[in-house]
C-alpha cells in the first residue's frame, strides 16, 4: 500500500546555495536591487529550483488539467449539472474555454487527464480518457469518494503524469482542474485539514451559485466533514473518503513534481486543497509550488494561509480550469527573462539610480 508520508524523505528543498548565488548576482545587475519588486524573488526562486545561475528562461510551460465528476453535485451544489464535466473538457479541447484561449496566446501546451469523468469514454479522445480510474466519484456526504485501492491508483496516476512531464522537458507546470462538484470536495479537505467548520470554507464555485445552492453546499460540506475527521491521520484514506479521483491524482502529481524538481503554479481552490494534502505528507513540497492568483473562494484563502503562500495576482478569477494560474505565467516568465538577460553593472558603477 502506498504511504504518502514516504514522500517526506524523497523531497528536498530548492538549492539554498544556488539561491544565495542568485541573490548575489541580482545585487550586481544594472537595475537596482528591489526595484523589480516581487519579480526579483521569483527569479531567485526559479534559480534555486533549476539549480542554475543565471536562471534559464521558461521555454516549455505546460498546462495540466485533471478532470472528474463528483457525486456530491447531485445535491445541487454546483452551477453546472452533475455529470457534465466532460463538456468542460470538450470546450478546452476545442479551444473555446478561457484557459484554452490564454494557453494559446501564452504559448503553453495543454494536457487533460480524465481521472474520474462520468461519461461514455467514446465522447472524448483516447489520450484523455485512457487513464480513467473510475466513472465518477462517490457522494462524499454519505459514501466514500473512492475505495482505498482506487485512491492509490489515482495518486499513482498523478505521479506517472508528473514523471512524463519532467522526462519530456516541461520546465514549468500550470495546474488546474476540470470538474463538477470539485470545489465542494476541495472545501471539505481544507476544512478538515485546517480544523475549521463548513461555513468558513464554502464558496460559490467556478460556475457561481445562488443562496439556496450555497446553503445546500454548506450542508453537504458539514456532513462530509463528519466523515473526514476520523481519517485525518492517513492522507490516502482522506482522499478516498472525501476527495475524488481527480483530486487524488492532482495530489500525487504535485508531490512527484516536487520529487522531480519541477515547479508548479497552482490555480484555485481545488489545486490549493491538493497542495494542502501534499504538505501534510511532505512539509518541504510546497517550496516547489507558487500560488497563481486569489480566486475569491474562502477555502482557497484558508489553504494558502496554512501553506504560507502569497498569491502572485488578485484578480478574483473564479472560473477555475487553470485560468487564474495561466494569468500568472507571464509574470514568472518575465522574472526568468529579467534575471537571465539583464547585464551586470560595470565595476565603476555604484548602481545608485534616482
Cite the active site residues: 321
Whether 104 contacts 86, CB under 8 Å: no
Q: DSSP letter at 308?
A: T
Tell me phi and psi for residue 284, to 5 degrees. -85, -15
Q: Give the C-alpha separation, 29 to 10, whole Å.
A: 35
d(CA 251, CA 239): 9
What per-residue string of b and e applies to 58-83 under the rule 16 or more CB within 10 Å gives b?
beebbbbbbbbbbbbbbbebbebebb
Alpha-carbon distance values, 114 to 1, 232, 246, 277, 290 (Å): 23, 27, 8, 21, 24
Q: Using alpha carbons only, how large is the chain's radius of gyration in Å?
A: 20
Q: d(Cα 281, Cα 183) in Å, to the nearest integer?
A: 21
Other beta carbons within 10 angstroms of residue 41's beta carbon come to 15
| Coil/strand/helix, residue 304 | helix
Amino acid at each position: 500500500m502506498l504511504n504518502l508520508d514516504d514522500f517526506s524523505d524523497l523531497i528536498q528543498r530548492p538549492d539554498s546555495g544556488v539561491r544565495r548565488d542568485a541573490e548575489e548576482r541580482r545585487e550586481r545587475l544594472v537595475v537596482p536591487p528591489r526595484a523589480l519588486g516581487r519579480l526579483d524573488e521569483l527569479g531567485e526562486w526559479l534559480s534555486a529550483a533549476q539549480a542554475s545561475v543565471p536562471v534559464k528562461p521558461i521555454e516549455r510551460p505546460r498546462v495540466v488539467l485533471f478532470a472528474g465528476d463528483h457525486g456530491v453535485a447531485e445535491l445541487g451544489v454546483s452551477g453546472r449539472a452533475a455529470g457534465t464535466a466532460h463538456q468542460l473538457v470538450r470546450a478546452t479541447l476545442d479551444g473555446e474555454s478561457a484557459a484554452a484561449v490564454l494557453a494559446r496566446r501564452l504559448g503553453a501546451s495543454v494536457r487533460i487527464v480524465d481521472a474520474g469523468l462520468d461519461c461514455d469514454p467514446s465522447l472524448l479522445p483516447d489520450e484523455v480518457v485512457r487513464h480513467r480510474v473510475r466513472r465518477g466519484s462517490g457522494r462524499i456526504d454519505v459514501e466514500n469518494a473512492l475505495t482505498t485501492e482506487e485512491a492509490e491508483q489515482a495518486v499513482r496516476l498523478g505521479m506517472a503524469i508528473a514523471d512524463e512531464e519532467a522526462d519530456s522537458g516541461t520546465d514549468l507546470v500550470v495546474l488546474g482542474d476540470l470538474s463538477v462538484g470539485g470545489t465542494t470536495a476541495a472545501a471539505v479537505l481544507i476544512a478538515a485539514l485546517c480544523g475549521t467548520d463548513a461555513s468558513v470554507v464554502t464558496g460559490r464555485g467556478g460556475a457561481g451559485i445562488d443562496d439556496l445552492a450555497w446553503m445546500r453546499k454548506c450542508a453537504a460540506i458539514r456532513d462530509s466533514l463528519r466523515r473526514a475527521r476520523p481519517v485525518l491521520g492517513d492522507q490516502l484514506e482522506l482522499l478516498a473518503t472525501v476527495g475524488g479521483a481527480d483530486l487524488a491524482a492532482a495530489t500525487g502529481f504535485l508531490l512527484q513534481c516536487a520529487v522531480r524538481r519541477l515547479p508548479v503554479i497552482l490555480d484555485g481552490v481545488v489545486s490549493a486543497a491538493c497542495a494542502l494534502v501534499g504538505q501534510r505528507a511532505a512539509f518541504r513540497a510546497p517550496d516547489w509550488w507558487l500560488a497563481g492568483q486569489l480566486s475569491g473562494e474562502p477555502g482557497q484563502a484558508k489553504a494558502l494561509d496554512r501553506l504560507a503562500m502569497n498569491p502572485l495576482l488578485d484578480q478574483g478569477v473564479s472560473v477555475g480550469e487553470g485560468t487564474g494560474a495561466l494569468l500568472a505565467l507571464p509574470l514568472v516568465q518575465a522574472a526568468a527573462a529579467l534575471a537571465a538577460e539583464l547585464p551586470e553593472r560595470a565595476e565603476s558603477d555604484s548602481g545608485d539610480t534616482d
